[in-house]
């Protein structure tokens, strides 16, 4: 399946934290969106890998993604091993996304930082004709980086006001992380009300700066080209 947008997350719930509104918006426009988690988050304090895969699948359905895949890499050991790079390159070449969204390269969580580095390398190698796999070389038009924990002034923001309730519902799917139940549930940074408020306050701040209710920020490495100095073209 050729995709318009392919979003990668280090663990189930990461791409929802940073980009769920943008995913839902693009899917609502009839664009083909695919999602890929690198790990099942098995080192997480709460929830099992099976729990997290089920939660991720429910969130993907809510967001309107065409599919969601989990590469099954070991949590806490995201590294640019040859077979892992090849797996991502094959995924990119099979689905030929126009745009790829990756975690921003600075973050408090080491897995998020390493995921950004490994995925960047895979995107680059996907376009090399002498990096041979079962599929033909493919280079996306654009690579964008979304925020999970850390944020900086974005290159641009996407107005997700109309899709923010969908983002909230997608985050609610990850109950094992944000609202775990049972005698073995352990309080963590994610289970505090303040964590969800941090997500919403960031999106509200980006929105306020752009004159809308909620927006998600993204960073790109190259200049953004506009046809004129006008904000909109009639």
pLDDT for the residue 212: 98
Residues 6 or more apart in contact with residue 103 via CB below 8 angstroms? 8, 9, 10, 14, 18, 112, 113, 115, 116, 119, 145, 146, 148
Residue 28's nearest CA partner among 165, 139, 141, 143 is 165
Whether the CB-CB separation of 6 and 101 falls below 8 Å is answered with yes
pTM of the shown model: 0.96
pLDDT for the residue 29: 97
Residue 65: C-alpha distances to residues 26, 73, 163, 201 (Å): 9, 21, 14, 25
Give the C-alpha separation, 4 to 100, whole Å: 9
- Using alpha carbons only, give the angle 3, 117, 38 rounded to the nearest 5 degrees: 55
Looking at the predicted structure, is the pLDDT value of residue 233 above 70?
Answer: no
Average pLDDT of the chain is 96
Give the C-alpha separation, 228 to 160, whole Å: 25
- DSSP labels, 167-207: HHHHHHH-HHHHS--STT----TTTSHHHHHHHHHHHHHHH
- Cα torsion at 40, 46, 51, 52 (round to 10°)? -40
Judged on CB neighbours under 10 Å (0-12, 13-18, 19+), 52 is buried
The CB-side HSE value for 194 (13 A sphere, CA atoms) comes to 4
Phi/psi zone of residue 182: left (φ > 0), alpha (ψ -120 to 50 degrees), beta?
left
Rounded to an integer, the average pLDDT of 39-65 is 97
Specify the residue for token string 């790829």. Answer: 100
* Phi, psi (rounded to 5 degrees) for 106: -115, 130
Reported as a single tens digit per residue, the pLDDT across 91-150 is 999 999 999 999 999 999 999 999 999 999 999 999 999 999 989 999 999 999 999 999
* Displacement of CA 227 from its chain's centroid (Å): 29
- Domains assigned to the chain: 5-219 (3.40.50.10320)
Six token digits for residue 198: 């941090």
Reported as a single tens digit per residue, the pLDDT across 158-171 is 999 999 999 999 99
pLDDT for the residue 115: 98
Whether the CB-CB separation of 174 and 12 falls below 8 Å is answered with yes
């Amino acid at each position: 399946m050729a995709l318009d947008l392919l979003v990668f997350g280090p663990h189930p719930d990461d791409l929802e934290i940073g980009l769920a509104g943008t995913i839902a918006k693009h899917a609502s426009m009839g664009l083909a969106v695919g999602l890929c988690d690198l790990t099942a988050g098995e080192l997480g304090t709460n929830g099992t890998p099976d729990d997290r895969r089920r939660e991720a699948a429910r969130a993907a359905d809510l967001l309107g993604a065409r599919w969601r895949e989990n590469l099954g890499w070991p949590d806490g050991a995201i590294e640019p091993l040859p077979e892992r790079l090849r797996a991502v390159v094959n995924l990119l070449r099979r689905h030929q996304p126009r745009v790829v969204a990756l975690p921003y390269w600075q973050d408090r969580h080491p897995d998020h930082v390493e995921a950004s580095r490994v995925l960047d390398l895979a995107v680059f190698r996907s376009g090399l004709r002498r990096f041979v796999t079962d599929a033909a070389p493919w280079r996306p038009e654009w690579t964008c980086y979304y925020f999970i924990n850390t944020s900086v002034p974005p290159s641009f923001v996407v107005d997700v006001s109309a899709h923010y309730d969908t983002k909230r519902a997608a985050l609610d799917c990850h109950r094992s992380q944000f609202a775990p139940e049972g005698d073995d549930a352990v309080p963590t940074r994610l289970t505090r009300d303040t964590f969800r408020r941090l997500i919403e306050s960031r999106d509200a701040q980006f929105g306020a700066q752009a004159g809308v209710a909620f927006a998600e920020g993204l960073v790109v490495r190259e200049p953004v080209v506009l046809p004129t100095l006008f904000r909109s073209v009639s």
